[in-house]
Amino acid sequence: MNGIAFLLQTMRIAVPYLLAAGGGVMSERVGVIALGLEGLMLSGAFGAAMGSHFGGNPWIGLLGAIVAGLIVSTVIAVATLRFKADQVVVGVAINLMAVASTRFFLRLVFDSASNSPRLPGFGGEGAMSGLLASFANPVVWLGLLSLPVLHWLLYQTPFGLRARAVGEKPEAAASVGIAVPTLRLSGLLLGGSLAALGGAYLALDQHQFTDGMSAGRGFIALAAVIFGRWEPRRVAIACLLFAAAETMQIQLQGAQFVPSQFVEMIPYVVTIIALAGVVGRSAAPAALGKPE
Amino acid sequence: MTPRLRALAEQLLPLVVALLVAAVVGDVLILTFGEAPRTVFRLLVEGTWGNPYGIGQVLYKTTTLTCTGLAFALAGRAGLFNVGAESQLAMGGFAAGVVGMLLPAGLPGAFALALCVLAAGVGGATVGAIPGALRARFGASEVIVTIMLNFVVLALLNWVISAKLHVPETLHTPPVVAGTVPRLSTLFPALHGSAANGTLVIALAAAVVCWWALFRTRFGFELRAVGLQPDAAEYGGVQVPGVIWQTMALSGALAGLGGMNFVLGYKGYYEEGFAGGAGFLGIAVALVGRNHPLGIVLAAVLFATLSQGGLAVNALVPKQLTDILTAVVILAVATAVPEVRRQLRSAAAQVRQSVAGTTAEKAS
Amino acid sequence: MSQSGSAAAAVSLTGIVKRFGGVTANSGATLTVAPGEIHALVGENGAGKSTLMRILAGTLSPDAGAVSVDGRTVTGWSTPEAIKAGVGMVHQHFMLVPTLTVAENVVLGMEPTRGWRIDRTKAITEVAALSARTGLQVDPTALVADLSVGEAQRVEILKTLHRGARILILDEPTAVLSPPEVEELWRVLRTVRASGGTIILITHKLDEVLSVSDTITVMRAGTTVSRFATAGSTASDIARAMVGRDVLLAQDTPAPAPRTVSAASSAPALRITGLTVRSDRGTEAVRDLSCVVYPGEVLGIAGVEGNGQTELLEAIAGLRAVRAGTVHLGTQDITAQTVRDRADAGLSHIPEDRHRRGLILDYSIADNLILGRQHHFATAFGLETARIAAHAEEQVRTFDIRPPMPSLAARALSGGNQQKVVIAREMGRAFTVLLAAQPTRGVDVGAIEFIHAQLRAARDAGKAIVLVSADLQEVLALSDRVAVMYGGRFSTVLPRAEATMEMLGRFMTGATV
């Protein structure tokens, strides 16, 4: 097997994880549990399909994804920040809502139960050339840059310092005049947009929206956030590891050394193990899940 | 307002709000599809409660939802989130199906059924106990572990079925030979054709037992104490870690029982993907049923009606309409519950304020 | 009450009203502070001091009344506005982010930047300079999580001063400090005053008030009741104003009749040998501590909070793991027993935090009255509801819990009545040893007398009592022997007759015999 091809495919598979996990890090670092990543990705994919289809241009697709992400994160923000609804319940509801409403609107807008028509995407097609061509795709670069940029944002800028303070001890942040709800809102909106871009990548890469196309990637991203201890650089490594496992599974499909189901389990199992031992509770932002 | 009345309002008001919001959202969505809301809602009611088959299907769906709702609620009373009912349900159904498949055909029905019930419970409990134990022992978040475990367990079952157990050309196991649950139509012929079966009785019995266990036993006293104030429970001699893993196991067992509905009561075999989101809907059921067994049965009926109603209206609007409404109800209840509590408590406080003021004046 | 609010007042609060749900925290409070003074705001726990100061600092908004600072009306302002106007508050519970460094905490919200980035070097230099100028020594690059309590408080003060505070509010700053640290704090405060700052000091400790303040305002039950110049006031003047009637200060209280207990005449009810216990942070909170308590005596434990008292009682009660040593109840070794078995063996425990541990606030009075003994009120067929109800009726009557409605949630009761529920449960049953932690914290004067009477009656009935209280006067008023806890050990154990406040104060600093 070609090492470079392996690396390229891993990166390509990692892109949606990197974006969604970036969204997860942002959301959880300001103290809101990111259970809705799956729904955000799916909504983002649908938004991208709408934008790309009606705008006739993948860039408008990206805009559509961001709009979808902003709408969904606003719902999350209103429920959890304004009304202090339980964040786990809201996350589950958002995921159900995304599945149901993308299907509903798929029928309303594209009159199909399963997929959108072919969409304008980035780059060309074809097998191996497509693999390389995907690096002409700006979303790939967004994905590769998202977590390093997030690291810089969280650890080098005033916004990041404040965000970390808010997620760790909101009352302390409030006592020095930081507007905690506003900061959390901006974290959620930023995070939601990132996760939605992760979804957009899927729709634009496959040149169509298909029903349920996020396919659990939001949860793998969440696993990466936890496995990476909420630190952008570690989270990026977790995303790449999970993507590498997936690539291996695809490449080994014919060989059947290990049933594919066991490879699928890897991200979840290592996260459970990490939660039970290595990571522990202390690594999570202290105010995670608590309304102010 | 008396405290009792206030408590009742605190329970019911969020539901009223949620149903109103859902009705409005539903109207808007139906209108975007160019249909008349009234026609669609009438079709929804007629297709569910308007004919015996519809009623039977609603009762069938109520059964699974009651089980997963109870599962979420029991954990919720102990302050735990069991987001894993989906895989516990699947494992319960799988265990019941495998035991039913392996039992000798001649076994007396009641005995075989008892073994299958046990298998379903143990299957679900096993999956529930893992996050419970990890939480109790290591403090691992049960929310995340149950979510992750859903994927692991479903993948595992997928592998067992596809690699070892399936009937060729299908995704299901060989049929159950002993321990099937009779259809309700054997008692009520009108329900003929619907999937409603005796598991409903088991689910209702589970609700009664849950109520008794929660509010009338020492275990329930301690379980609720752990949920409300774990430090106070510990002070009160409760073995908090023990209660946590036991509760998660029981919660998993309740979800597992729901697996019988499809496997033993309807199809007679375990089939890949039969849970179909009923585990997650259990969260909605428990939320709307306010974590109370009676409320859960009623909420299960509501969501079963919505789910069956979606099929009834599919000719006019996509059946996902009712799924959207379900999600809207969850969001609205989750949002309204804390808000209503705040409003009512501050109103009550103001009343108490003025009462206290007048009595203080009298006293001085 | 003095109403001398001149235009020159640094702070003037008039007719402040603030309610939280059913609780009125402030009801018409009025406070005037002159520029450049140290003003003590005193009152019992729950008198409404912190609420009033949070209103001044912009954390809370008043329901009625006016706030003005430097003659400008600022009623209902926000925290950022208050900070901008030079009003800063050092909270009782530190408002510090443990995962950030000292410098990051100090500059949080007003970070020096270079481009888009935080200028770390500048932040550290600024904090170090301020630290040197004020004498508040602390390493700017240390993580706050690694600091001692005293250091964390210094960071809090630095943080406030860094924001240009000229009016500095300190909420119970000495609760966590040892006496030398307190002296250090006073020195800092005097420096701040000398450079033109105004300080408002919230406290309920009279000695502090007399030693450091210029002016005193007394609060009681949500309102301000008196204002004194410190010079010329006595402790009993202030105490009288605090409780609203003449009180016997502990110094004046006759010592309880000395009880002559000896190892010969009776066996100890509680014996602790070589006990070592760790705190939540993993440090040794109790070190190799040994003591005995005899039937019919009260062992009072005094000490600055955080010297291991909490951990000691939790370890005896079975709520905290014992690293080394043994605990005997009578002749029975209970070191490895569960909480439940200890209770059944005759150990009662009034925990220091009734809202967290002592009560399940959403449970009824009746259910709270069986907490910890639920296994005595249940059969294989479930809880014995009739017996639980009858038991509650009886206890509510005996301990005068009001309102006398056993089905009412504990949350709905006043602090004093909540504590009576705990007392009824722990003392209304057979026991040989009682652990009483802060038994009168946050309860009204009437309930305090009731609780003290209960404790004395139990002692006279031959029970052994371990009393931990932050209130030295309470310790002296109730104990037969007084121990002082410092750094996880008893620095002394004295018969009550030999103990004086002055002496205890010295031992609380760690002095040894």
Name chain A contacts of B156, Cβ cutoff 8 Å. Answer: 261, 265
Instruction: Give me the residues paired with residue A115 across strands.
Output: A210
Instruction: Give me the residues paired with residue C322 across strands.
Output: C277
State the average pLDDT over residues C128-134. 91
For residue C121, pLDDT beyond 90: yes
State the average pLDDT over residues C110-124. 94
Q: What percentage of chain C has pLDDT greater than the value 70?
A: 92
ipTM for this model: 0.90
State the average pLDDT over residues B99-111. 88
**B152·A90 Cβ contact <8 A:** no
How far is the alpha carbon of B362 from chain C, nearest alpha carbon, in Å? 17
Number of C-beta neighbours around residue A98 at 10 A: 28
Contact between residue A37 and residue A222 where contact means Cβ atoms under 8 Å apart: yes
- As a whole number of Å, the CA-based R_g of chain C is 25
Give the integer Cα–Cα distance in Å for B221 and A32.
Answer: 31
CA distances to B21, B60, C188 from C213, rounded to whole Å, are 59, 75, 13
Parallel, antiparallel, or unpaired for β C347-350 and C464-468? Answer: unpaired
Q: Which of B112-121, B326-335, C15-24 has the lowest mean pLDDT?
A: C15-24
Instruction: Give me the residues paired with residue C168 across strands.
Output: C88, C199
For A193, the token pair is: 């947009």
> Which residue on chain B is closest to A221 by alpha carbon?
B148
| Nearest CA-CA partner of C177 in C203, C151, C196, C159 | C151
Interface of B with C (CB under 8 A): 3, 212, 216-218, 221-222, 224-225, 228-229, 231-237, 239, 345-346, 348-349, 352-353, 356
Give the integer Cα–Cα distance in Å for C352 and C356.
Answer: 9
For residue C212, pLDDT beyond 80: yes
The whole-number pLDDT of residue C425 equals 96
For C235, the token pair is: 């402790």
Give the integer Cα–Cα distance in Å for C481 and C293.
Answer: 9
Interface test with B, best of A99, A227, A268, A278 (most B CBs within 10 A): A268
For C191, the token pair is: 């420096």
**A268·B149 Cβ contact <8 A:** yes
SS3 C91: coil
**Position C80 confidence tier, pLDDT thresholds 50, 70, 90:** confident
For residue C167, pLDDT beyond 60: yes
Give the integer Cα–Cα distance in Å for C199 and C195.
Answer: 12
For residue C74, pLDDT beyond 90: yes
Instruction: Give me the residues paired with residue C286 across strands.
Output: C277
Contact between residue C22 and residue C413 where contact means Cβ atoms under 8 Å apart: no
How far is the alpha carbon of C109 from chain A, nearest alpha carbon, in Å? 6
For residue B358, pLDDT beyond 60: no
CA distances to B358, C220, C225 from B363, rounded to whole Å, are 9, 18, 20
Name chain A contacts of B26, Cβ cutoff 8 Å. Answer: none
Rounded to the nearest integer, the mean pLDDT of chain B is 90
- pLDDT tens string A37-66: 999 999 999 999 999 999 999 999 999 999
Of B83, B144, B338, which is closest to A226 when you measure between CB atoms? B144
For residue C440, pLDDT beyond 70: yes
Give the integer Cα–Cα distance in Å for B173 and B99.
Answer: 11
How far is the alpha carbon of A102 from chain C, nearest alpha carbon, in Å? 39
For A15, the token pair is: 């892109």
| Nearest CA-CA partner of C497 in C255, C298, C248 | C255
For A230, the token pair is: 């909420």
Q: Let me know if C67 is exposed, middle or buried by CB neighbors in 10 A (0-12, 13-18, 19+).
A: buried
Contact between residue B260 and residue B116 where contact means Cβ atoms under 8 Å apart: yes
Rounded to the nearest integer, the mean pLDDT of chain C is 88
Q: Which chains touch C (3 or more CB pairs under 8 A)?
A: A, B
Contact between residue B363 and residue B45 where contact means Cβ atoms under 8 Å apart: no
In chain C, the N- to C-terminal Cα span, in Å, equals 46
Q: Which of A268-282, B61-75, C315-329 has the lowest mean pLDDT?
A: A268-282
How far is the alpha carbon of A97 from chain B, nearest alpha carbon, in Å? 5
State the average pLDDT over residues C339-365. 95
Cβ neighbours for B19, distance < 8 A, ≥ 6 positions apart: B329
SS3 C67: strand
Residues 249-278 of B with CB under 8 A from A: 277
| Nearest CA-CA partner of B118 in B64, B179, B198, B177 | B179
Whose tokens are 């302390």? That residue is: A172
For C86, the token pair is: 């030079």
Name chain A contacts of C164, Cβ cutoff 8 Å. Answer: none
The whole-number pLDDT of residue B139 equals 87
Parallel, antiparallel, or unpaired for β C298-302 and C464-468? Answer: parallel
The whole-number pLDDT of residue C245 equals 58
Give the integer Cα–Cα distance in Å for C243 and C221.
Answer: 9
Q: Let me know if C33 is exposed, middle or buried by CB neighbors in 10 A (0-12, 13-18, 19+).
A: buried
The whole-number pLDDT of residue B176 equals 86
For residue B360, pLDDT beyond 80: no
Give the integer Cα–Cα distance in Å for B41 and C271.
Answer: 74
CA distances to A216, A229, B309 from B158, rounded to whole Å, are 16, 30, 30
The whole-number pLDDT of residue C306 equals 77
The whole-number pLDDT of residue C505 equals 72
Q: Flag whether residue C429 sits within 8 Å of chain B, measured between CB atoms.
A: no
Give the integer Cα–Cα distance in Å for B202 and C215.
Answer: 73
**Position C249 confidence tier, pLDDT thresholds 50, 70, 90:** very low
DSSP string, B224-277: HHHHH-HHHHHHTT--HHHHHHHHHHHHHHHHHHHHHHHIIIIISS-BTT-STT
Beta strands in C309-429 (DSSP E): 322-329, 332-333, 347-350, 378-379, 382-383
Interface test with C, best of B218, B222, B240, B343 (most C CBs within 10 A): B218
Task: Say if residue B52 is preceded by a cis peptide, omega within 30 of 0.
Answer: no
**B159·A259 Cβ contact <8 A:** yes
SS3 C443: coil
SS3 A169: coil
User: Tens digit of pLDDT per residue, chain A (292 long)?
Assistant: 578 888 888 998 999 999 999 999 999 999 999 999 999 999 999 999 999 999 999 999 999 999 999 999 999 999 999 999 999 999 999 999 999 999 999 999 999 888 999 998 886 544 445 556 666 788 999 999 999 999 999 999 999 999 999 999 999 999 888 999 999 999 999 999 999 999 999 999 999 999 999 999 999 999 999 999 999 999 999 999 999 988 988 887 666 677 888 888 999 998 898 888 755 455 788 888 887 6
Number of C-beta neighbours around residue C492 at 10 A: 21
The whole-number pLDDT of residue B354 equals 60
Q: Flag whether residue B163 sits within 8 Å of chain A, measured between CB atoms.
A: yes
For residue C232, pLDDT beyond 90: no
Give the integer Cα–Cα distance in Å for C46 and A245.
Answer: 59
Secondary structure letter of residue C229 according to DSSP:
E
Interface test with A, best of C108, C119, C153, C160 (most A CBs within 10 A): C108
Q: Flag whether residue C376 sits within 8 Å of chain B, measured between CB atoms.
A: no
State the average pLDDT over residues C338-355. 95
For residue C5, pLDDT beyond 50: no
> Which residue on chain A is closest to B33 by alpha carbon?
A108
Give the integer Cα–Cα distance in Å for C89 and C102.
Answer: 17
The whole-number pLDDT of residue C260 equals 52
**Position B1 confidence tier, pLDDT thresholds 50, 70, 90:** low
**C359·B235 Cβ contact <8 A:** no
- pLDDT tens string B192-213: 888 999 999 999 999 999 999 9
The whole-number pLDDT of residue B39 equals 93
Dihedral in degrees, nearest 10, Cα atoms C102, C106, C111, C117 = 0
Of A156, A175, A176, which is closest to C118 when you measure between CB atoms? A156
For residue B350, pLDDT beyond 90: no
State the average pLDDT over residues C36-51. 86
For residue C262, pLDDT beyond 60: no
Dmax (CA) of chain A: 60
Q: Let me know if C502 is exposed, middle or buried by CB neighbors in 10 A (0-12, 13-18, 19+).
A: exposed
Q: Let me know if C165 is exposed, middle or buried by CB neighbors in 10 A (0-12, 13-18, 19+).
A: buried
Name chain C contacts of B237, Cβ cutoff 8 Å. Answer: 338-340, 343, 372-375
Q: What is the pTM of this model?
A: 0.88
Whose tokens are 């009120």? That residue is: C377
Q: Which residues of A72-82 are buried (b: 16+ CB within 10 A; e: fewer)?
A: bbebbbebbbe
- pLDDT tens string B248-292: 999 999 999 999 999 999 999 999 888 888 999 999 999 999 999
Give the integer Cα–Cα distance in Å for C194 and C172.
Answer: 22
For residue C207, pLDDT beyond 80: no
State the average pLDDT over residues C339-345. 95
**B235·C378 Cβ contact <8 A:** no
State the average pLDDT over residues B111-139. 95
| Nearest CA-CA partner of C238 in C205, C269, C211, C272 | C205
Q: Which chains touch B (3 or more CB pairs under 8 A)?
A: A, C
Cβ neighbours for B224, distance < 8 A, ≥ 6 positions apart: B77, B78, B214, C363
The whole-number pLDDT of residue A285 equals 86
In chain B, the N- to C-terminal Cα span, in Å, equals 27
SS3 content of chain A, % helix, strand, coil (to 5): 75, 0, 25
The whole-number pLDDT of residue C92 equals 80
Contact between residue B357 and residue A131 where contact means Cβ atoms under 8 Å apart: no
Instruction: Give me the residues paired with residue C467 across strands.
Output: C300, C436
Q: What percentage of chain B has pLDDT greater than the value 70?
A: 95
For residue B215, pLDDT beyond 80: yes
**B349·C343 Cβ contact <8 A:** no
Name chain B contacts of A108, Cβ cutoff 8 Å. Answer: 32-33, 318
Q: What percentage of chain C has pLDDT greater than the value 90?
A: 63
**C356·B236 Cβ contact <8 A:** no
The whole-number pLDDT of residue C193 equals 92
C441: left (phi over 0), alpha (psi -120 to 50) or beta: beta
Contact between residue B172 and residue B267 where contact means Cβ atoms under 8 Å apart: yes
